[in-house]
């Protein structure tokens, strides 16, 4: 054998072995996979359809519901496990239910998304709005920013998560007056909604480096407390275990996790949450049972007066909505008319900026009843007057669900920040900060 042929054979052998090992690595790893899981968008035309789908959500752990069946003429997105596709298709046909298939293989969407994540050990200066980032990178980036802006920025550590990870954020304090108003933003309470922390990171960067006069004015007149990932255990698990994980990682027998946005002590567990630890919207064994909830409550109670927090924003995805309290009841909050008008202005702003349609209204009115959410507690209990939560991109019938393509991070963050600026300007003009 010539040396060239010898090397060639060695190369082929290497590729075969490496290929087999790579194959084994993918298929024997402990990471959740969604190969050939289908995403359906169904239309419930009759009361019978509603009843059937309520039963299906209750009984099946192979169908993941994004929203609950509540009334006829409702559209609902459901992910169906590969082995249940035939049964589900039969159900649709038998009861004459209209539907679209949004995705035939959800793993493809996840694979595309994982390729948009930069490695954990990159230089934190490489933070951008074209990729998604690990928790470790986001924390290193915040440390880097504080070193760069030591007079205005500080790291905030509100305490540890259930699994002992510090919950960190940034405090931006250019206005040194004692009575300066603070804007509070939290995101990442739901682990899989990666666009939310990506958006808060963009906002931090804009407040520090934008040349726009209005951004500079808001950065200088107001103080900002921003917590990009209030559920760090869950966020980490979406990279290392299951990309579709939503809750924290507390252990309850055979299942893990509390939906932290159902765990706040305000009309806790009264509607739109589950008492079952194996469900995605488990409200926890008691109100504020979770470390993450406790830390956030303690921090806000201690800083409400001290930092004059007058606005509370929480970022989620997806569905393109701007919502204000309450979630547990159709009753109006005392400043309903103001919040309603401010929300409307914020959605109009988004339409001008990007053409995207964001629906605005109270949580109860425009999404579905839910209780124990952070913004309901912030408004109802802490009495923070301006309280909004966003459902960022994509649209309600998105085929990507929570897996927004990284190419859309920057435009999503831009429109969300424009809407938040509008909320502040409108609240200012209505006298909320004086
Ligand atoms: Zn969410």
pLDDT at residue 341, as a whole number:
98
At residue 289, does pLDDT exceed 90? yes
In 3D, which of 53, 249, 49, 57 has the Cα closest to residue 135?
249
- Is the per-residue pLDDT at 115 higher than 80? yes
- Mean of the per-residue pLDDT values for the chain? 94
CATH dotted code for 38-113? 3.30.70.340
Q: Is 391 annotated as catalytic? A: yes
Which residues have a beta carbon within 5 Å of ligand 1, which is an ion? 190, 316
Model confidence at 111: pLDDT above 70: yes
CA geometry: angle 17, 21, 23, nearest 5 deg? 120
Per-residue pLDDT, 271: 85
If you measure from the C-alpha of residue 334 to the centroid of ligand 1, how many angstroms do you get, rounded to a whole number? 25
pLDDT of 16 strictly over 80: no
Q: How remote is the CA of residue 193 from the centroid of ligand 1, in Å?
A: 6
Ligand 1: centre distance to CA 235 (Å): 12
- pLDDT confidence of 13, banded at 50, 70, 90? low
Biggest alpha carbon–alpha carbon distance for the chain: 87
Q: How confident is the model at residue 18 (pLDDT cuts 50, 70, 90)?
A: low
Q: Is the pTM of this model over 0.75?
A: yes
Q: What pLDDT is attached to residue 107?
A: 98
Identify the band that residue 386 occupies on the pLDDT scale cut at 50, 70 and 90: very high
pLDDT digits (tens, 9 = 90+) for 227-239: 999 999 999 999 9
Q: How far is the CA of 274 from the centre of ligand 1 (A)?
A: 15
Position 154 pLDDT exceeds 90: yes
DSSP 8-state secondary structure symbol assigned to residue 83: G
Q: How remote is the CA of residue 351 from the centroid of ligand 1, in Å?
A: 22
- CA angle, 347 then 231 then 399, to 5°: 50
| Gap from CA of 67 to ligand 1 centroid (Å) | 12
- Residue 316 CA to ligand 1 center (angstroms) comes to 4
Calpha distance 392→268 (Å, rounded): 25
Q: Which one of the listed residues 186, 250, 290, 391 is annotated catalytic?
A: 391
Q: Is the pLDDT of residue 95 over 60?
A: yes
pLDDT over 60 (residue 10): no
| Euclidean distance between CA atoms 3 and 221, whole angstroms | 73
What does CATH list as the number for 124-429? 3.40.630.10
Whether residue 208 is predicted with pLDDT greater than 60 in this model: the reply is yes
Check: CB of residue 349 under 8 Å from CB of residue 426.
no
């Amino acid at each position: 054998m010539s040396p060239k042929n010898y090397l060639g054979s060695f190369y082929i052998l290497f590729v075969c072995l490496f290929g087999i090992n790579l194959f084994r690595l993918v298929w024997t790893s402990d990471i959740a996979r969604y190969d050939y899981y289908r995403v359906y968008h169904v239309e419930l035309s009759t009361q019978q359809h509603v009843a059937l789908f309520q039963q299906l959500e209750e009984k099946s752990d192979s169908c993941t519901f994004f929203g609950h069946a509540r009334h006829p003429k409702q559209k609902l997105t459901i992910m169906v496990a590969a082995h249940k596709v035939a049964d589900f298709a039969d159900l649709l046909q038998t009861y004459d239910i209209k539907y679209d298939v949004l995705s035939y293989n959800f793993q493809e969407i996840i694979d595309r998304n994982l390729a948009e994540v930069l490695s954990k050990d990159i230089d934190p200066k490489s933070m951008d709005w074209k990729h998604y980032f690990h928790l470790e990178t986001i924390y290193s980036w915040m440390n880097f920013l504080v070193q760069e802006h030591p007079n205005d920025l500080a790291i905030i550590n509100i305490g540890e998560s259930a699994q002992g990870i510090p919950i960190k954020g940034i405090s931006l304090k250019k206005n040194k007056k004692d009575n300066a108003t603070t804007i509070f933003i939290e995101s990442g309470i739901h682990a899989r909604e990666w666009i939310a922390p990506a958006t808060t990171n963009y906002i931090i960067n804009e407040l520090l480096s934008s040349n726009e006069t209005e951004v500079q004015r808001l950065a200088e007149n107001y103080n900002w407390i921003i917590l990009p990932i209030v559920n760090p255990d869950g966020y980490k698990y979406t990279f290392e275990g299951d990309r579709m994980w939503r809750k924290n990682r507390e252990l309850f027998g055979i299942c893990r996790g509390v939906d932290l946005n159902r765990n706040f002590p305000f009309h806790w567990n009264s509607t739109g949450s589950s008492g079952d630890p194996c469900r995605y919207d488990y409200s926890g064994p008691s109100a504020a049972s979770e470390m993450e909830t406790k830390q956030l409550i303690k921090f806000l109670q201690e800083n409400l007066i001290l930092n004059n927090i007058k606005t509370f924003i929480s970022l989620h995805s997806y569905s393109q909505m701007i919502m204000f309290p309450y979630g547990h009841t159709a009753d109006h909050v005392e400043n309903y008319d103001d919040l309603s008008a401010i929300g409307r202005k914020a959605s109009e702003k988004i339409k001008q900026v990007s053409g995207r349609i964001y629906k605005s209204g109270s949580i109860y009115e425009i999404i579905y009843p839910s209780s124990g959410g952070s913004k309901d507690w912030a408004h109802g209990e802490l009495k923070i007057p301006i309280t909004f939560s966003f459902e960022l991109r994509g649209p309600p019938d998105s085929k990507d669900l929570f897996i927004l393509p990284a190419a859309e991070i920057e435009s999503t963050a831009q429109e969300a920040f424009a809407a938040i600026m509008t909320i502040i300007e409108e609240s200012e003009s209505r006298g909320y900060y004086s």
